Amino acid sequence: MPRPTSVYRCQQCGFASPKAGTCPDCKRATGELVPLVEERAAPAPSGRRRAVTAGTRPLALEDVVMERGDRTLTGIGELDRVLGGGLVRGSLVLIGGDPGIGKSTLVLQAARALARVAAPVLYVTAEESAAQVKMRADRLGVRGDGLLLWAESDLGAVQAELDTLKPHVLIVDSIQTVFLPELESAPGSVAQVRECGARLMTLAKGRGIATFLVGHVTKEGALAGPRVLEHLVDTVLYFEGEHHHAYRVLRAVKNRFGSTNEIGVFEMAAGGLVEVPNPSGFFLSERPADAPGSVVVSALEGTRPMLLELQALVTRASFGTPRRTVLGADYNRVCLLLAVLEKRGGLPIGGQDVFVNVAGGGRVAEPGADLGVVIAAASSYLERPVPPDVLLLGEVGLTGEVRAVNGVEMRLRAAAQLGFKSAIVPRSNAEGTLPMPVRGVTTVSDALGALLG
């Protein structure tokens, strides 16, 4: 039987089938009927790819040579931190994020910084024209030294010029808009994204060109295109933030050359992205004094404590079913905490509308902020403010117990620097010398009594 020359592929998950139809995997996962798109079978791997592995053999661990020195500092401290201490030679870095969040701005600023230390930097723009990028560059005050701009979406053409241009750093904006002409599928299709990614990987590794890929994110929050792209690249960074707020976070979700705990914090200003080396102060700058429903928590992002203002508004439900609206925190977690407050803290908030928000467009994603959510809701319900210079820390369990959190000393030190005078912490965290006076609590009721009693 002749081998099939076409496969039918799901554009969402990458599922492949020899027959047309809809994707069974997506149907099972989401109930959605996603049509499979025909694509020509990818060309067989080139001889070069095989040659890369042909000469390898197993090595004793102690004989493996570390290539530590091959890092270049981009000069943007927050980016260097997330990369794990600078950009590694020959590495492939994917930067994902919503449209309009600032990815092109970020890579252009990185290009400027890198052009000073690792010229030439080649910026391939396949989405915007060279004039559009130039406009952005003018706005950012980026001048041309060492930076080559090329409006081209044919990756084959780019590859052909690499020998002449010899860039140290390559930027491809975006991976969804470049294409390889030998493939029949459209730019942005799974086949194109996968093959372009693989081609860029070969180029990056083979020639030692550090490469940034810009990638779009689907409305579900995943990087558009197949997961294989995430598996292929060395580093995946997500650029996140609320469009209406200036604050942006660069988060490593995968990094072969560093920790995925690190985040970089930026503010989108008129002249581009500005680093925020001390994010704690940033979120508290507009905090209202003595307002019920406002508390401050310290969330640990990797090794950095971030002080965030949590706000809650509890009001009588205007319609039959009470509403819960949560911005900047996990919806289910907040619902769970509100149930604990009702049952273990004895506050009848079940029939109330509850709104919870992290001020300034911030986000909390760790249980250390639980006690803050509970106390903010109680404070709003009781119309009693929490003292403004008290920090709240603690994970809350279903029986209303307040459980220990990690990094207490670090979190309290950050709060002390911003003028906080004391903290409510889990009893088991209240020992040893700490940067400020603390009160240890074991239950939600304890904490309510201490703050709002």
Q: Binding residues for Mg ion, per CB under 5 A?
A: 104
* Contacts of ligand TYD in 260-279 (CB under 6 A): 268, 270-272
Least distance from ligand TYD to the Cβ atom of residue 76, Å: 14
Report the nearest approach of ligand TYD to the CB of residue 165 (Å).
23
User: Residue with the closest Cβ to Mg ion?
Assistant: 104
Q: Pick one of Mg ion, ligand TYD, none as the site partner of residue 348 (Cβ within 5 to 8 A by kind).
A: none
Nearest approach, Cβ of residue 263 and ligand TYD (Å):
17
Residue 91 or 125: which CB sits closer to ligand TYD?
125
User: By the 8 A CB rule, do 229 and 194 touch?
Assistant: yes
Q: Which amino acid is at 253?
A: V
How far is residue 303's CA from residue 83's CA, in Å, rounded to a whole number?
14
Q: Which is nearer to ligand TYD, 109 or 294 (CB)?
A: 109
Taking CB under 6 A as the criterion, the residue among 11, 72, 74, 105 binding ligand TYD is 105
Q: Which stretch binds ligand TYD (CB under 6 A): 10-18, 132-140, 250-258, 323-331?
A: 132-140
CA torsion 203-205-206-212 (nearest 10°) is 30
Minimum CB separation of residue 132 from ligand TYD in Å reads 9
Asked whether position 103 contacts ligand TYD by CB under 6 A, the answer is yes
Return the structure tokens found at 178: 């470049």
Whole-angstrom Cα distance, residue 291 to residue 302? 30
**Cα distance between residue 329 and residue 334, in whole Å:** 7
Q: Which of 42, 49, 134, 136 binds ligand TYD (CB under 6 A)?
A: 136
Of residues 273 and 452, the one with the C-beta less far from ligand TYD: 273
β-partners of residue 248 are 241, 266
For ligand TYD, the closer of residues 27 and 245 by Cβ is 245
Please tell me the chain's helix, strand, coil percentages from 3-state DSSP, rounded to the nearest 5: 30, 30, 40
Is 131 among the residues that bind ligand TYD (CB under 6 A)? no
Residue pair 273/343 in contact (Cβ under 8 Å)? The answer is no
Q: Residues binding ligand TYD: what is the number (CB under 6 A)? A: 15
Q: Are 82 and 253 in contact (CB under 8 A)?
A: no
Give the binding range for ligand TYD (CB under 6 A) out of 136-144, 181-189, 389-397, 401-409.
Answer: 136-144
11 to 7, 187, 212, 416: CA distances (angstroms): 12, 12, 23, 50
Decide: is 100 part of the binding site for ligand TYD (CB under 6 A): yes
**Least gap, CB of 91 to ligand TYD (angstroms):** 21
Contact 87, 201 (CB under 8 A): no
The rounded distance, in Å, linking the Cα atoms of 42 and 260 is 33
Cα 375 from Cα 347, distance rounded (Å): 11
Residue whose C-alpha is closest to residue 449's, from 353, 384, 364: 384
Report, in Å, the least distance between residue 124 CB and ligand TYD: 14
241 binds ligand TYD (CB under 6 A): no
Question: Footprint of ligand TYD on this chain (CB under 6 A)?
Answer: 97, 99-105, 136, 139-140, 268, 270-272
